[in-house]
Chains A and B, each alone.
Chain A
Amino acid sequence: MANTKTIAVCVVAVILVAAVTISFSSYLSEFDTARTLPAEHKFETIALGSETATVTIVEVGDYQCEMCKLWFEKTRPLIIENYVETGKANLIFIDMPFLGNDSQHAAAATYCADDQDKYWDYHVKLYQLQQHVDDGWANADRLSAIAFSLDLNMDIFDECMESKEHYSRVDFHKQKAKNDFGANSTPTFVIVNTSGDSKRIVGAHPYSTFEEIINSML
């Protein structure tokens, strides 16, 4: 009996150690993939900042991701202030909706807002209002309410959401984020300059990381 228990405990301990080790090593091994930005990127994205900026910061994110919200609140404002508004860098957002059903709807809604030139306003609003995954904060009614609060033409917005015309664009971004950037978590960033140098940042890093990398690429 005691032997059985010992074996059972050993098995559980081995599984625990293996699980932690595998998770950790898989987390680290992902860092080695997709370090470079592929030459052909035909994303239909909307850049925030100057089109002639030396550096482009590509953010791969999900509107329901709490770490993306943390980055949005803590790091993004400093990047906007010091690099985007000064014309040194521009920012692109690539959707990788995977956390819940509402992630995809929220991503599609940003493009419906873009039809009325309010992409970044809608993007900002989504992160400001983010709550828990699929708890209703980004359901169809709330997405319409956000559009209304931004003074969008509701007939055009609702028609766009109902027709699902931008869902294929969101799916395309998701595939590109996975295949081209090797993203398997959000937020993931790829910083690329006009010389073709690129660096990948995985996770909601603090501003200091971005500052160091962007300065080295300017």
Chain B
Amino acid sequence: MTNTFGIIYSNPSNILIAVGIFFLLLIPLITISEFLFFEPFVVFSLYPETTLSFSLIVVLSFLSSLAVSMNIYRVKLIKETRKISSSIIGTIIGASAGACSCGPIAFSIITTFGTAGSIASSFLTIYEIPIRLTSIIILGIVIFVTTKSLSYECKMSQ
């Protein structure tokens, strides 16, 4: 497994993709979840009550960056896209959780869809932690399966 990671991330472009995906997810998610503020100036705020939520966002972003970058490498190698879909689905599920709360996204959803929007927003807020955990499990499985499959495919190609 370590060897597979070594092979993938020995290429700086794969590291760059992973880092890019990490920040592309992390910054919007922590902004939407009100850990990072830009107005009236940049402020980062973390309370003990919200530490778990913040940690899950960091883990989710990290796993998404690994899963997607590994699968991009895999697609380049063997032109097979099944697992990249799973990693994107895992990312979407995780990103949708908690994004609603009382923010502008919830406001848009509720004003557009009325009661149905309110129920959906409320569901995503109440079950934020379980949804993010589910997403992390999905991404963990995707990374595990991709690593196994890559080590097999790399042996075959050698």
Interface residues of A (CB under 8 A from B): 2, 5-6, 8-9, 12-13, 16-17, 20, 23-24, 26-28, 30-31, 62, 65-68, 70, 74, 98-101, 132-134, 184-187, 199-206, 208-209, 213
Contact = CB atoms under 8 A, between A and B. Distances in A.
Given A12-B85, A16-B92, A185 B104 contact: yes
Interface in B59-100: 75, 79-82, 84-85, 88-89, 91-92, 95, 99
A79 B57 CA distance: 30
Instruction: Report the 4 A-B pairs with minimum CB-CB distance, sorted nearest first.
Output: A65-B102, A31-B39, A133-B122, A24-B28
Contact of A185 (B28, B80, B102): B102
Nearest to A134: B122
Given A2-B79, A185-B107, A208-B43, A9 B85 contact: yes
Contacts, number: 120
Given A5-B85, A9-B88, A209-B43, 7 more contacts: A20-B95, A67-B103, A101-B118, A132-B122, A184-B108, A185-B102, A186-B102
A179 B80 CA distance: 51
B134 interface: no
B92 A213 contact: no
Which bucket holds chain B's interface residue count? 35 or more
Nearest to A100: B118
B45 interface: yes
A132 B126 contact: yes
A201 B40 contact: yes
